[in-house]
Amino acid sequence: MTEYYINASHKKNRINKEIYGHFSEHLGRCIYEGIYVGEHSDIPNVNGMRKDVVDALREIKVPVLRWPGGCFADEYHWMDGIGPKKQRKKMINTHWGGVIEDNSFGTHEYMELARQLGCETYINGNVGSGTVREMSEWIEYMTFGGVSPMADLRAQNGHPDPWKVDFFGVGNESWGCGGNMNPEYYANEYRRYQTYVRQYAVSDQEPSINNPELIRKIACGPNTDNIEWTETVLKTLFQHNMPAYHGLTDGLSLHYYTVPGSWEHKGSATDFDEKTYYTTLSKACYMDKLIRMHSGIMDKYDPEKKLGLIVDEWGTWYDVEPGTNPGFLYQQNTMRDAIVAGIHLNLFNQHSDRVKMTCIAQMVNVLQAVLLTDGDKLVRTPTYYVFDLFKAHQDATLVASHIETIPIGNEGDPVPNLSESASVDQDGRLQITITNLSCDTAYPIHTHLAGFKAGHVDAEILTGDIHAKNTFEQPDAVKKACFSDVTLTEDGLLFTIPACSVLHLTVEAPTAS
């Protein structure tokens, strides 16, 4: 019997809804065909956005969407994507497939997508090949409500009122595709560029940590375990004894992909053995070490944890599906990916004192996508259902919890058999998510509840063989189901979690008689 302890009276910090964010780049069929088909498409759409895709994403309550990249962001010039579509400039997408980018999806279309999703906006600015003026004018175009050249241009293009930009990334992967900069150079460029991310929406220039109306600015953080980058950037941002969060920055990004093989031979998304399955999970669990490593450096400069660690690119990365454009990064999605998602989301919850936002890469048809499309067909992947199971944690309060685990998997590189997190939502219900990493073993679990009396439990589960997937021929082979085998005990709950599964339980207190 596995013992699991939850103390609902030991409340920690809020689990920001933005931890469940998504990423959409001009890459392959993510934007075009995946999200945007144009107003004249035979595929049902609202202002060019696929209705089936938007409806599916609204079901999982997408809280924030990052755009336009990714590496694409640092070759994107926003003025190419405004005005009449026939007059927009065409360009070569040099990073992703060498295809023509016609810029028919630009600022107005992104803002319309965010409106339809009901989500916050996270825009990545161009530092690599752009200018300070270009970035400054984009902010003015999007957010200034007065009389100015850019505000007038926005009105001429059909949107008189300003939009709300919630988050703005100053550069992307500046250590690599975003300019191949060293950390000192980037940090000083960041200080310069962010100065011109003007806060037009408010007159009171308080630190943005205290004023949610302000644009929250994100600095480019490290690639995986590059602690030198984190240390150097933060040291530069905190020079002159000025706290970086006093208008300078609100967060530092982190990118890490789960790659079971090498970057040259990443491995198949569907054809893998048990050893590779556990190798993949081990790589996913490395996220815990990365968060602790970079958080430790951030704690030196920001002990009050006002700066967020923003994991705005994460997920599995395999070899592309046979016969597809290698630059489009299209891959299938199995229960292995669902377990990887369950591991990550539980980790992000547990580290939500420092992790304030994350974005899975990517939303549709690219890497660990939650949706796949083919013409007018739509498939929800196993990863989609994990986000559906975890959405109850959004803006809930993390509570103290601990589960006994044993090492399983590959000899010399084991993983814990279980991962978990627990929170109390705004209605006072206890929300629990547990991931069983084992490919073949179920575990009986005795959940001990302190500070909470269980009166009723609703539960849902996603489970299946590690290779199980949804296809356009069988779109519902893997989907969530009701889980009723839960017994209430004097001090908590008893249940058995099946192998290779993600389980969500909502526990309510007894109703007054």
Q: Which residues pair with 450 in a beta bridge?
A: 7
Which of the following is catalytic: 18, 173, 189, 420? 173
Helix (H) or strand (E) holding 359: strand 355-361
CB 39 within 8 A of CB 45: yes
Closest of 348, 349, 341 to residue 383, by C-alpha: 341
Question: Tokens 């009166």 belong to which residue?
Answer: 455
| Residue 19 DSSP one-character state | G
Q: How many whole angstroms from its chain centre is CA 232?
A: 25
Closest of 506, 486, 483 to residue 495, by C-alpha: 486
Q: Which two tokens stand for residue 487?
A: 């017994």
Phi, psi of 380 (to 5 degrees): -90, 125
CB 232 within 8 A of CB 186: no
Q: Which residues pair with 3 in a beta bridge?
A: 446
Q: Give the CA radius of gyration of the chain.
A: 23
| Amino acid in position 106 | G
Q: Is 288 helix (H, G, I), strand (E, B) or coil?
A: helix
- Which strands sit side by side in the sheet containing 430-436, from one edge to the other? 481-482, 456-463, 501-508, 430-436, 418-424, 397-403, 2-14, 443-450, 492-497, 486-488
Closest of 421, 432, 422, 488 to residue 460, by C-alpha: 432
Q: For residues 44 and 169, give the distance between their C-alpha atoms in angstroms, rounded to a whole number.
A: 32
Q: How many CA atoms lie within 13 A of 58 on its CB side?
A: 13
Q: For residues 170 and 128, give the distance between their C-alpha atoms in angstroms, rounded to a whole number.
A: 10
Using CB atoms within 10 A of its CB, is residue 92 exposed (0-12), middle (13-18) or buried (19+)? exposed
Residue 487: partners with Cβ closer than 8 Å, 6 or more residues away: 493, 494, 495
Helix (H) or strand (E) holding 373: strand 371-374
Q: Is 313 a known active-site residue?
A: yes
Q: Is 149 helix (H, G, I), strand (E, B) or coil?
A: helix
Which of the following is catalytic: 313, 321, 420, 460? 313
Q: Which two tokens stand for residue 276?
A: 């590779």
Q: Which two tokens stand for residue 284?
A: 């996913």
Question: Tokens 């809020």 belong to which residue?
Answer: 14
Q: Is 33 a known active-site residue?
A: no
Active site residues: 173, 313
